C-alpha cells in the first residue's frame, strides 16, 4: 500500500477473541478479520483502546499484529497500535510493524502520568523523527494526556512521518480548530474521529473518516453511515446516526468498556471468551441482561435472531430508552467522578 | 405573537450598554435593539449569560425587558431571561414579562449550589406548573447545575408550558439524545444551541436554531450561517462556520467573558460602557490588544475599518492563529481548573 | 467590638427558619440565635452558603442581618455575608452592615461566571479599597471562582481591611501554603476553615478557627472539638473528630445541601419551615428517612430522644456506616459530575 | 521479616538511576539503596509512581526488585510494586517477589480505562485470593481508577492477604472514613499516605506512616517529621512540615513529575541519568533553573553546598516563594485540565 495514500474511511478498532485459557484465539481472530473486511470496513486498527492493548503483554501485542496483517493479505490497510513502555520500545515496535507490512501505526499519547503539552510534543517528536512507518497521533483525553491543537500543528509541520490524528474527544469545535491549523500546510494530513455518536456531523465538518468501535459489531451500519454522509444523503444518514447513538450508548454505557462491545460481537457469532478484567457477580448479571437488550437491538435491524424470551414490542420501547438515558447519565457522572468526561 | 408558534432561528443573547455612571444606557440599548432586528436576527434574548443578568439587580433586570419589549414593538419575539432568587420570585418575573408581551421566558437551571437531577426537575416543575408564559429551559453545565436528558423528557411530557430548551454544552451526542427522547411526544418542542462554534453541525442533526452570542456582534454572519445551512449549501456554510469559530474563539477566550463580546460591539459602533466586573491593570492592557485584533478580524469581512496602526498582512496570519490556538488551550485549561469545561 | 481583634474560634454559618408562607420566621430566628450563643459558639455568620443567601432577595438578606445583630446585642461578633449583584451593591451592603454594628463581612468570590485569578483580585481589591468594615474573603471552589494563594497574599498586603479568609476547600496543603504566604507580613490575619470533616487537623496546622455548619446543629460538639484541640488533648479530640465526620457526612451527603442540616436543626427543636428549593416526592421520602437516622445519631450523644420506632442497636451499626459510605461516594461522584469536588 | 508485622513508618518510593545508554544503573541503584537505609527510612518501595514503573519493561521491573532486595539484605522491608498487564501477570509477579523475599507488594488500581468500584473490587479480589504475599492497595485517583471506601472495607474483610492501603489523594476526611470503616475488624491493617504535603496531619488523625517521595531526596527530613509527630512534639513537627511543603511543591510542580525529584537526587550525589520521558528544549532549560533553586533549598538545610553562582539572600526569598506559589497554582490548573486534581 503506497505510503502516500491518505488514510480515509472507517477503520475498525477490533477486539481480540480469547480462548478458554484466556489466551489469544488465533483461529477466531482470523475469522473475525475476514468477516470485518467482507462487510466493508476500509481498514483495521488492532491494539487500540477497544482492543485492550494495555491488558496484553508486549509479546502478545506483536502477535496480534502478525496474525492480522497476515490474514488481511493487503486487502485493506492495517493501522497498528504501537505504544509501548517508552519511546525506545515504541520505536522498536514501529520498526517491527513496518517490517510486517502495516500501513501505519497509531500511538496514543502518554498516559497514567498526565503530561504537559511540551512533554507530549517531545514524546511524539522523538518517535516521529525515528520511525520508519507513518504515524497516526491518537488523542483520547478521556484516558490519556491530551494532545492540544498547537502540538498537533507543530508535529504536522516538523514530522513528515506524522500523517494523521485519531481524535476520540467527540468535540466538534476542537476538530474544526485542528483542521484549520493543520490542513493549509499539510493538505494530505488525515483527521479521523473515534467518537461514533458524532460521526456524521464530524464527517460533515471535514473529517476523513473514523476509527469506530461500532464498526467491530455492525460494520454494515457504520459503513452505511459513512457512505450516506459522503454522498450527501443527509436525511437518510441522520436516521442511521440516531440509531447508531442508541446502539453505541447501550454498548458503551451499560457495562465496563469494552465489555458491551465484546458481548455484541458474541451475538454476531464470534467466540470472544472471558475478558481480562475480572467482573464482580453483579456485573456478570448486568452483562447477561445487556446481552438480551443488545440481541433485540441487533434483531431489529436483522443482524441477529430474537433471543429465546422474545423482545419487548415497540410500544414498550419508550421505557427502555428512558432506562438507557438514565444509564448514560449515570455513567457520564461516573466518568466525571474519575476526573474524566469530554 | 401566537404562543403556538415554534421557536426557531437565531435569537441574540444581547448585552446591555452602560452609561458612564455604570447604569443602563437606555438610549443605546434601544439603538442596539433596532440594529440587531434590522440585521436579521429572528429574536432577542435579554438577561442571558452574555447579558450578565447576574450582575444586575432584580429591578434592573425588569427594566431591561421593559425597554426591549417596548422597542421591539412585536417585530421579533423576545425571550426574556427570568431566573430570580427562588421559584416564587421567578414565577413573579414570569407573570410580569407575560404582561409586557414577551414571547417566552428562558430560565437557567439553579446555580451556585450544584443540584441533583431530582432537584432540577422539582425546580422547573414548580415553575412550569405556575407560569402563564411559555418556558425555555436553559442548560449551561459550564455555569449551572446540568439538566439531564431524563429530566428534559419528563418536563416536556408533564408541562405543556415548557416548550423549548436552550443547550449551551455544545455536546452533539447529548443534543441527539434529547431530540430522540422528546420529539416523539412533543413534535413542536424546540431545541436551540448556545454554542456558536458548532452551530452548523447542530442544525444539521436537528436543532431548530440558536441563541448565539456572536449574533450580538456580527448578526449578518450568524444569520447567514443559519440560512446557508438550512438551505443545504453545506460547502458555503462550512466556510462561514470555520470563520465564525475564529471570531468566537477570539472573543470568548481572549478576555473574561463577556468582555470580548462587549469590545467587539464597541467596534460595531455601540457605546457599551465599562463592564460591571472590575478588571486588573493587566487585563485592561490585554483588552486593548484584543480590541485591535477584533477590529482587524471585523475589517477583513467589511464590518469595520482597519485600526489606525493597520492590520497584519495575510502572510502573518499563521502566527496569529497559533497565538489564538494557544490562548484557547490555556483558557480551556483555566475553565477545567475551575471545575468546568464541557 | 474592637476591629483590631483577630477572628478566632467557631463561627456558626446559621440557617434561617421560615414560616408557613415561606417568609423569614423572625421569632424563631431570634430564638435560634440565642440558643447558639448560649451553647458556646464564638460568633455567628449569617448569609453564608449554609444560610442559603442566594435564595433570599437583597431586602431579605439585609433583614436577616438586622434581626441577628439586634438579637446578639454584642454578646458575640457577627460576620455578615455581604455578596450582592456587583461591587457597587456589595459595597453598599458593607456600609449598611457596618452601620448596624457587625464585626466584619464575609464575601464569597464571584460565582456563575468562573473568573480568572486576575478578575478575582480586581473584584476584591475594589471592595477592599472601599469598604468601611473588615472583610473576610470566602473561598469555596466547590461553588464559586477559586481564590488562589498569590491572590490572597496580594490582597492581604494591599488591603488592610481584608483581615481573614474562610476556606471551604478542606485542602490542607493549600491552607499551609496560604498561611506561609500571608502570616509573615500580616501576623494578625485570620484563617478559618469551612470544612468540618478536617477541623482538628486544620487547627493543628495553624488555622484560627472555623465557620462550620455542624455548629448550627450540635454547637456543643463543634465547640468541644475546638477546645480539646487547642488544649492539646489530641486523643479525645480525635474521637470527637471521628464522630463529627459521621454526623457531617450524614447531613451533607444524604440530602441536597443544606436540607440535612435543616432537618437536624428541627430535631434540636427549631421550626425551620420548608426550604426554598423545591423537592421531588422521592427526595421528600428520603428526607423523612434521614430525619430518623439523624435523630438516632443525635440521641446517641444525648441531644435528642430516640424516634418513636427506636434506633438500631449498636451491632447493626456496621450496616449503617457502610450505607453512609456508599452514599458519600455517590455524592462525591455527583459533585464531580457537576464539575466539582475539591 | 514476619508477615504479621504491621507496615509502619516511612517507605521510600525510590527512583531508578539510569546509565548513559538509558539502562538501569545497577551500581548506582545499590549505592542509593544503602544511602536511603543508612539515613533511616523504615522501608523501600521500588516500582511505584515515583519509580516510573510504567516506563520500564516487565523484565526491567523484575530486575529492579531483584537488585534492591539483594542489596537490602533484610535490613528494612521491601514493598515491591507489582502491577502488570493483567491479573494473571500481576499474580505471577507477586509469586516472584514473594520468592525473592519482599515483605509485601503494592498494587495500583487499574489505570487508563477508568473503572467502576465493582471492577476495582473484582480486580483486587482476584489478586487477593491468589497471592502468596501480602498486598498493599495503592489508591492514586490522580492517575488511576479510585479505590473507594466501601471497596477498601470489603477487600479488608474478605482478603486476609490485603494488609494495607497506600493513599495518595491527600484527602484527610477520606482517610478518616477509611480508618473508621476498616480498623474495627482489621486492627492490624495499615494506612499509609503518599502525600508528603500533609504527612504530619495525616499521622495525627491515625495513619501508620507514608510512602513519601521526599524521603528519596531528604530521607533525614521526612524521617524527622515522622519522629517528631509520633513523639507529640507538634511545634517542631509543624516547622518541618512547612519546610517540607516548600521543598515538595518545588520538586513536584516545577517540572514534569518525577523530574524534580530526580534533579534533587542528583544534587544529593547520585548519577540519575536522563529520564525516559523526552523533554523539550524549553523543559530542559527550566530543569536547569530548577536544579539551582533546589540546590539552594538543600544548601539551606546543610544537605548540599551552594551552587557556584550563590543563592538569593533571605530578604529576596519572598519573591521566590511568590513564584513558587504561582507555579503551584498553574500546575494545579494543568492537572485539573487533564481531568485530575485531588
Q: Taking an 8 Å Cβ-Cβ cutoff, which residues of chain B contact chain A?
A: 117, 148-150, 153, 170-173, 176-177, 180-181, 184, 195, 197-198, 200-202, 204-206, 232, 234, 238, 241-242, 245-246, 249, 318, 321-322, 325-326, 328-329, 342
Question: For residue A300, what pLDDT is reported?
Answer: 84
Check CB contact under 8 Å for D337 and B339. no
Residues of chain B predicted below pLDDT 70: 1-4, 313-327, 330-342
Task: Tell me how far CA of residue B161 lies from CA of B2, B74, B124, B167, B208, in angstroms.
Answer: 13, 21, 11, 18, 18
Q: What is the pLDDT of residues C194-244, one digit of tens each?
A: 999 999 999 999 999 999 999 999 999 999 999 999 999 999 999 999 999
Name every residue in D having a CB less than 8 A away from some CB of C.
117, 148-150, 153, 170-173, 176-177, 180-181, 184, 195, 197-198, 200-202, 204-206, 232, 234, 238, 241-242, 245-246, 249, 318, 321-322, 325-326, 328-329, 342
Residue pair B301/B218 in contact by the 8 Å Cβ criterion: yes
pLDDT value at residue D334: 58
DSSP C45-80: --SSTTTTGGGS-HHHHHHHHHHHHHHHTTSS-BEE
List the single residue in B111, B280, B335 with the smallest CB-CB distance to C118.
B280
pLDDT over threshold 80, residue D336: no
- Mean pLDDT, chain A, integer: 92
- Gap between the Cα atoms of B68 and B26, Å rounded: 9
Asked if residue A82 is part of any domain, the answer here is: yes
At D319, is the pLDDT very low, low, confident or very high (cuts 50, 70, 90)?
very low
Q: Which of D207, D133, D105, D122 is nearest to D158 (CA)?
A: D122
The answer, yes or no, to whether residue A88 has pLDDT greater than 80, is: yes
Contacts of B341 in chain C (CB under 8 A): 339
With an 8 Å Cβ cutoff, the interface of chain A facing chain B consists of 117, 148-150, 153, 170-173, 176-177, 180-181, 184, 195, 197-198, 200-202, 204-206, 232, 234, 238, 241-242, 245-246, 249, 318, 321-322, 325-326, 328-329, 342
Q: Nearest CA to CA, how far is C68 from chain D (Å)?
A: 32
Please state the domain count of chain A: 1
Judging contacts by C-beta atoms under 8 Å, the chain D residues touching residue B341 are 337
> Would residue A226 count as lying in a domain?
yes
Q: Is residue C318's pLDDT more than 50?
A: no
Sheet holding B162-167, edge to edge: B43-44, B9-12, B209-211, B190-193, B162-167, B135-139, B104-108, B79-81
- Please report where in the chains the cell 469595520 appears, as a residue: B304
A336 vs B339, C254, D230, CA distance in Å?
Answer: 10, 20, 38
CB pairs under 8 A between B and D: 19
What local confidence, expressed as pLDDT, does residue A336 receive? 60
> For residue A341, which residues of chain C lie inside 8 Å, CB to CB?
337
Position D2 scores a pLDDT of 42
D146:A340 CB<8 A: no
> Which residue would you say has higher pLDDT here, D235 or D337?
D235
Q: What is the pLDDT of residue C336?
A: 60
Facing B116 at nearest CB: one of C86, C143, C334: C334
Nearest CB neighbour to C112, from listed B54, B89, B276: B54
If you measure CA to CA, which chain A residue comes closest to B205?
A238
For residue range D163-174, what is the model confidence (pLDDT) as tens digits?
999 999 999 999
Within-domain flag for A67 = yes
Please check whether residue C3 lies inside any domain of the structure.
no
Q: Is-contact B223 B215, C-beta < 8 A? A: yes
pLDDT band, very low/low/confident/very high, at A319 (cuts 50, 70, 90): very low
pLDDT digits (tens, 9 = 90+) for C270-311: 999 999 999 999 999 999 889 988 998 888 888 888 888 888
Confidence at residue A329, expressed as pLDDT on a 0 to 100 scale: 72
Alpha-carbon distance B93 to B46, whole Å? Answer: 13
pLDDT-derived band at A318 (thresholds 50, 70, 90) equals: very low
Cell of A333: 457522572
Q: Grid coordinates standing for A324? A: 438507557
Q: So what's the pLDDT on residue B214?
A: 97
In a domain, A3, yes or no: no
Please answer yes or no on whether D172 and C198 come within 8 Å at the CB atom: yes
Nearest CA in chain A to B206: A238
C-beta atoms of A150 and B177 within 8 A: no
User: What Rg value do the Cα atoms of chain C yield, rounded?
Assistant: 19
Across chain C, mean pLDDT equals 92
Mean pLDDT to the nearest integer, A250-272: 94
Q: Give a yes or no: residue A108 inside a domain.
A: yes
Task: Please answer yes or no on whether C340 and B337 come within 8 Å at the CB atom.
Answer: no
Share of chain A above pLDDT 70, in %: 90
**Backbone Cα Rg of chain B:** 19
Q: For C229, which residue in chain D has the nearest alpha carbon?
A: D204
Is the dihedral angle over the CA atoms C217, C220, C225, C230 positive or is it negative?
positive
Q: Please check whether residue D169 lies inside any domain of the structure.
A: yes
More confident residue, B234 or C342: B234
According to the model, what pLDDT value does residue C1 have?
Answer: 41
The rounded distance, in Å, linking the Cα atoms of B295 and C202 is 51
Which residues fall within 8 angstroms of residue D53, CB to CB, at 6 or more apart? D47, D61, D81, D83
Residue C287 lies in a domain: yes
pTM of the model: 0.93
Which residues touch A255 (CB under 8 Å, ≥6 apart)?
A263, A283, A286, A287, A290
Residues of C with CB under 8 A from a CB of D: 117, 148-150, 153, 170-173, 176-177, 180-181, 184, 195, 197-198, 200-202, 204-206, 232, 234, 238, 241-242, 245-246, 249, 318, 321-322, 325-326, 328-329, 342
Backbone angles phi, psi at A6, to 5 degrees: -70, 140
Give dist(CA D23, CA D56) in Å, integer. Answer: 10
Q: What is the pLDDT of residues A209-243, one digit of tens each?
A: 999 999 999 999 999 999 999 999 999 999 999 99
pLDDT greater than 80 at residue C314: no
Output the domain CATH number for residue B153.
3.20.20.70
Q: Which residues contact A289 (CB under 8 A, 6 or more apart)?
A: none
| ipTM passes above 0.90 | yes
Task: State residue B209's pLDDT score.
Answer: 98
The mean pLDDT value for D22-50 works out to 98
* Interval C162-185 mean pLDDT: 96
| Domain that residue C57 falls in | 9-337
Chains in contact with A via at least 3 Cβ–Cβ pairs below 8 Å: B, C, D
The predicted-structure confidence for B67-112, as pLDDT tens digits, reads as follows 999 999 999 999 999 999 999 999 999 999 999 999 999 999 999 9
Q: In terms of pLDDT, which residue wins out, A315 or C184?
A: C184
| Distance (Å, whole) CA A93 – CA A72 | 19
The residues near C110 (Cβ < 8 Å, ≥ 6 apart) are B277, C119, C120, C123, C144, C145
Least confident interval from A286-290, C107-111, C247-251, D118-122: A286-290
Rounded to 10 deg, the angle between the A117-128 and A149-158 helix axes is 20
**Average confidence (pLDDT) over D83-101:** 98
Amino acid at each position: 500500500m503506497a505510503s502516500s495514500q491518505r488514510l480515509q474511511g472507517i477503520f475498525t478498532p477490533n477486539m481480540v477473541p480469547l480462548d478458554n485459557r484466556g489466551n489469544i484465539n488465533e483461529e477466531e481472530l482470523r475469522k473475525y478479520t475476514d468477516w470485518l473486511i467482507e462487510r466493508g470496513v476500509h481498514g483495521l486498527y488492532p491494539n487500540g483502546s477497544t482492543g485492550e492493548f494495555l491488558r496484553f503483554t508486549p509479546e502478545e501485542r506483536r502477535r496480534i499484529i502478525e496474525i492480522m496483517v497476515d490474514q488481511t493479505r493487503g486487502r485493506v490497510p492495517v493501522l497498528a497500535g504501537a505504544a509501548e513502555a517508552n519511546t525506545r520500545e515504541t520505536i522498536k515496535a514501529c520498526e517491527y510493524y513496518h517490517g510486517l507490512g502495516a500501513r501505519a501505526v497509531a500511538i496514543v499519547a502518554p498516559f497514567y502520568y498526565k503530561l504537559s503539552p511540551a512533554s507530549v510534543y517531545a514524546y511524539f517528536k522523538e518517535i516521529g523523527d525515528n520511525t520508519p512507518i507513518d504515524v497516526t497521533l491518537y488523542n483520547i483525553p478521556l484516558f490519556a494526556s491530551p494532545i492540544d491543537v498547537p502540538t498537533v500543528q507543530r508535529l504536522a509541520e516538523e514530522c513528515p512521518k506524522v500523517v494523521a490524528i485519531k481524535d476520540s474527544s467527540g468535540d466538534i469545535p476542537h476538530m474544526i480548530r485542528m483542521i484549520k491549523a493543520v490542513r493549509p500546510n499539510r493538505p494530505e494530513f488525515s483527521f479521523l474521529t473515534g467518537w461514533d455518536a458524532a460521526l456524521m456531523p464530524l464527517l460533515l465538518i471535514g473529517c476523513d473518516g473514523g476509527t469506530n468501535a461500532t464498526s467491530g459489531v455492525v460494520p454494515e451500519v457504520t459503513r452505511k453511515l459513512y457512505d450516506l454522509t459522503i454522498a450527501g444523503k443527509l436525511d437518510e444518514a441522520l436516521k442511521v446516526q440516531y440509531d447508531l447513538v442508541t446502539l453505541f450508548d447501550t454498548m458503551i454505557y451499560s457495562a465496563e468498556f469494552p465489555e458491551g462491545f465484546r458481548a455484541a460481537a458474541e451475538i454476531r457469532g464470534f467466540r470472544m471468551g472471558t475478558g481480562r478484567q475480572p467482573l464482580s457477580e453483579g456485573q456478570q448479571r448486568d452483562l447477561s441482561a445487556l446481552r438480551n437488550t443488545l440481541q433485540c437491538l441487533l434483531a431489529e435491524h436483522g443482524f441477529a435472531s430474537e433471543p429465546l424470551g422474545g423482545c419487548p414490542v415497540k410500544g414498550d420501547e419508550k421505557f427502555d430508552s428512558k432506562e438507557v438515558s438514565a444509564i448514560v447519565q449515570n455513567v457520564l457522572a461516573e466518568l466525571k467522578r474519575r476526573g474524566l468526561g469530554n
